[in-house]
C-alpha cells in the first residue's frame, strides 16, 4: 500500500465527543450578567491577536465543506461474501440486500468567484452522483447547504471547478503567486479535516518541487502545516492571506491515515493556468509527442554526454509535432524556450503550461553537438491505455550468455504476433535471473532496435557489437516495449 494518501475523508462513523460537566443541573440555570471585566475581555478578544488570527478571520468565510455521494451498484455475479451478506439482511431485516450502496466522502474547497465558482481537488468530486457545499459557520453563522455541479476537471493535476447558485455575492479568496514562495515561509491551511469545518493550522514551507508520483506534472509544495483527511481541496495561504496552494495529499509513512507533518499542496499557479479552461469544461494543453527518460550516469557515459541535465528522447510519436519538427530518438532536450531543462520531469510541466499552436524553441544535443529547433506545439490527445505484456514466448533463440539473455530475429510472423509496425531489430526471448540484462531492466518480448546508436538487422550484428565492447563498457540499447520505445543501458561484464 502506498504511503501517500489523498486528504479526502471517507464517510464519518462512530466518532463521538464526550463532554463532562461538573454538575448537570447548572446547565439549566439562567446566565449571570457579565461583569465589566468580562465584557472588556470579550471586546479585547474580538481583535485579532496576531497575523494568523487575522487571516483566519478574514479568509475562513470563503472556505467550504464539500460532501459527495456516489451510488455503487452490487456486482451482477455475487461472491461468497456477498451471499453471506444477503443472508444477513434477510435474517435480521426481513428484506433483500439493497441493489446499490451509497458511498460518502468529505473534502474542502474555496470560492474563487463571487457568483459561486469553487476550486477543489478532482479526487474530492470524482464520479460523484451528488455534490453538496456548505459554508459551516463561516458565512453569516449559518450552515446552509447548496447543491453543486461539476463544471470542469483536470485529472492530470487533480484540480476541479464546481459551481453553486448563491442568493448573494460570496466572499472570494485572492489567488497569489506560488512561484515566489520560499522554503521556510509561514503558511496557513484551512479546511474540513474529519468533518471539523473551518479548522486552521499553521506551519512552514518544508520544500518545493516535490515529486510524489501523482502524475506527469508533479510539482508539489511540501508543508508541515497539519493536513488530514478532509483537508483535500482546501487552501494553503501565505501571510498576505493569498492562496498559494491547494492541499492535496499527505505522507503517512505506512501508519494510520493521519498527519505526521508531511503534507503536499498543488501550487496555485498550476490552477491559475487552467482556470479559464476549467470554466469552459475542457483543459487544453500543448503537446510535443515524445517519450522521454531521465539521464542516468550510465546513460551519460554511453551517449558521451557532458552533463546529466536534460531529457533523453526515447521515442517520437508518429505524426506528432516533434516528429515534424525534426526531433529524433536519442536527442537530449536541454532547453525549452530559453529555459534550461534540468531533468526529464521538467519538460512535461514546461510543455503543458503552453497552449496548442504556441511556437517554441528547443535546444537539443545530438551526437555531441547542440542544435536549435523551432516549431509549433500540437494539442495533447486523449489518453489511450497501452498495456505491457511481459510474458516470454516459448520459442528458443540464439543465446548471449555473457549478457544473460536469449534473442532471435524479428520475422514477419513474429512482428505480427508482437503487433510491431515492421520486422525490425531482434526480440528478447529469455532473460537470466540476476544477469546483466535483468539488472538493466530488460524483459522477454522486448525488441532491441538499436545498440550503440547502430540499427540492428541481425542477431550476429548484435553479438559482434557485444563482443567488441570492453568489459565495464555501457551499451545504450533502444528498446521497443509494447507501443513505446525507450533507452536501456547494459553494462558489459568481465569475461569469465
Closest CA relative to residue 441, chosen from 411, 394, 414, 479: 479
- Radius of gyration over every alpha carbon of the chain, rounded to an integer in angstroms: 29
Residue 158 a catalytic site member: yes
Alpha-carbon gap, residue 466 to 470, rounded angstroms: 8
- Reported in sequence order, the residue ranges of 158-240 that DSSP labels E, i.e. its strands, are 159-163, 186-191, 199-210, 220-223, 235-237
φ, ψ dihedrals at 436, nearest 5°: -55, -40
Reduce the DSSP state of residue 390 to 3 states and report it.
coil
Catalytic residue among 7, 67, 108, 123: 123
Q: Which residues of 13-40 are buried (b: 16+ CB within 10 A; e: fewer)?
A: eeeeeeeeeeeeeeeeeeeeeeeeeeee
Reduce the DSSP state of residue 474 to 3 states and report it.
strand
Alpha-carbon gap, residue 118 to 175, rounded angstroms: 12
Alpha-carbon gap, residue 231 to 191, rounded angstroms: 5
> What's the CA angle centered on 35, arms 29 and 36, to 5 degrees?
155
CB distance 143 to 177 below 8 Å: no
Measured CA distances, 95 to 90, 91, 170 (Å): 5, 8, 46
In eight-state DSSP terms, residue 341 is: -
In eight-state DSSP terms, residue 169 is: P
Reduce the DSSP state of residue 41 to 3 states and report it.
helix
CB distance 121 to 204 below 8 Å: no
Catalytic residue among 67, 206, 232, 335: 232
Closest CA relative to residue 427, chosen from 351, 413, 84: 413
Catalytic residue among 67, 108, 134, 158: 158
CB distance 108 to 65 below 8 Å: yes
Q: Which residues, 6 or more positions from 332, have their beta carbon under 8 angstroms from its beta carbon?
A: 295, 303, 305, 310, 311, 312, 313, 364, 365, 366
CB distance 202 to 215 below 8 Å: no
Task: Classify residue 351 as left (phi > 0), alpha (psi -120 to 50) or beta.
Answer: alpha
| Cell output for 161 | 471547478
Which active-site residues does the annotation give? Answer: 123, 158, 232
Amino acid at each position: 500500500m502506498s504511503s501517500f494518501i489523498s486528504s479526502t475523508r471517507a464517510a464519518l462513523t462512530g466518532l463521538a465527543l464526550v463532554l463532562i460537566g461538573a454538575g448537570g443541573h447548572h446547565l439549566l440555570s439562567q446566565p449571570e450578567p457579565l461583569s465589566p471585566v468580562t465584557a472588556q475581555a470579550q471586546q479585547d478578544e474580538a481583535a485579532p491577536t496576531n497575523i494568523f488570527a487575522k487571516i483566519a478571520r478574514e479568509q475562513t468565510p470563503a472556505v467550504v465543506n464539500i460532501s459527495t455521494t456516489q451510488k455503487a451498484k452490487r456486482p451482477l455475479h455475487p461472491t461468497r461474501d456477498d451471499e453471506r451478506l444477503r443472508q444477513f439482511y434477510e435474517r435480521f431485516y426481513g428484506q433483500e440486500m439493497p441493489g446499490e450502496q451509497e458511498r460518502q466522502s468529505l473534502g474542502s474547497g474555496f470560492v474563487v468567484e463571487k457568483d459561486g465558482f469553487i476550486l477543489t481537488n478532482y479526487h474530492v468530486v470524482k464520479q460523484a452522483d451528488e455534490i453538496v457545499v456548505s459554508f459551516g459557520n463561516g458565512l453569516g453563522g449559518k450552515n446552509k447547504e447548496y447543491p453543486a455541479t461539476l463544471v470542469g476537471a483536470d485529472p492530470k493535476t487533480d484540480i476541479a471547478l464546481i459551481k453553486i447558485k448563491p442568493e448573494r455575492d460570496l466572499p472570494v479568496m485572492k489567488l497569489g503567486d506560488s512561484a515566489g514562495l520560499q522554503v521556510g515561509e509561514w503558511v496557513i491551511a484551512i479546511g474540513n479535516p474529519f468533518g471539523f469545518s473551518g479548522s486552521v493550522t499553521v506551519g512552514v514551507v518544508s520544500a518545493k518541487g516535490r515529486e510524489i508520483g501523482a502524475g506527469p506534472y508533479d510539482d508539489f509544495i511540501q508543508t508541515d502545516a497539519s493536513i488530514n483527511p478532509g483537508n483535500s481541496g482546501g487552501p494553503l495561504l501565505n501571510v498576505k492571506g493569498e492562496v498559494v496552494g491547494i492541499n492535496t495529499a499527505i505522507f503517512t509513512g505506512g501508519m494510520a491515515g493521519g498527519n505526521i507533518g508531511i503534507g503536499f499542496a498543488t501550487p496555485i499557479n498550476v490552477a491559475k493556468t487552467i482556470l479559464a479552461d476549467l470554466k469552459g469544461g475542457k483543459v487544453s494543453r500543448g503537446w510535443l509527442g515524445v517519450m522521454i527518460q531521465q539521464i542516468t550516469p550510465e546513460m551519460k557515459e554511453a551517449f558521451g554526454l557532458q552533463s546529466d541535465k536534460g531529457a533523453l528522447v526515447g521515442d517520437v510519436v508518429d505524426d506528432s509535432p516533434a516528429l515534424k519538427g525534426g526531433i529524433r530518438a536519442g536527442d537530449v532536450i536541454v532547453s525549452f524556450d530559453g529555459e534550461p531543462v534540468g531533468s526529464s520531469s521538467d519538460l512535461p510541466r514546461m510543455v503543458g503550461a503552453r497552449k496548442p499552436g504556441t511556437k517554441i524553441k528547443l535546444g537539443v544535443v545530438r551526437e555531441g553537438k547542440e542544435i536549435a529547433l523551432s516549431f509549433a506545439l500540437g494539442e495533447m490527445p486523449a489518453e489511450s491505455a497501452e498495456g505491457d505484456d511481459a510474458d516470454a514466448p516459448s520459442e528458443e533463440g540464439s543465446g548471449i550468455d555473457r549478457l544473460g539473455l536469449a534473442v532471435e530475429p524479428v520475422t514477419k510472423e513474429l512482428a505480427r504476433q508482437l503487433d510491431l509496425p515492421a520486422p525490425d531489430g531482434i526480440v528478447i526471448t529469455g532473460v537470466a535471473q540476476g544477469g546483466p540484462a535483468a539488472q538493466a531492466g530488460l524483459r522477454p518480448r522486448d525488441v532491441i532496435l538499436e545498440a550503440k546508436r547502430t540499427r540492428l538487422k541481425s542477431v550476429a550484428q548484435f553479438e559482434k557489437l557485444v563482443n567488441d565492447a570492453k568489459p565495464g563498457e555501457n551499451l545504450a540499447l533502444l528498446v521497443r516495449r509494447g507501443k513505446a520505445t525507450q533507452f536501456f543501458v547494459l553494462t558489459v561484464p568481465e569475461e569469465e
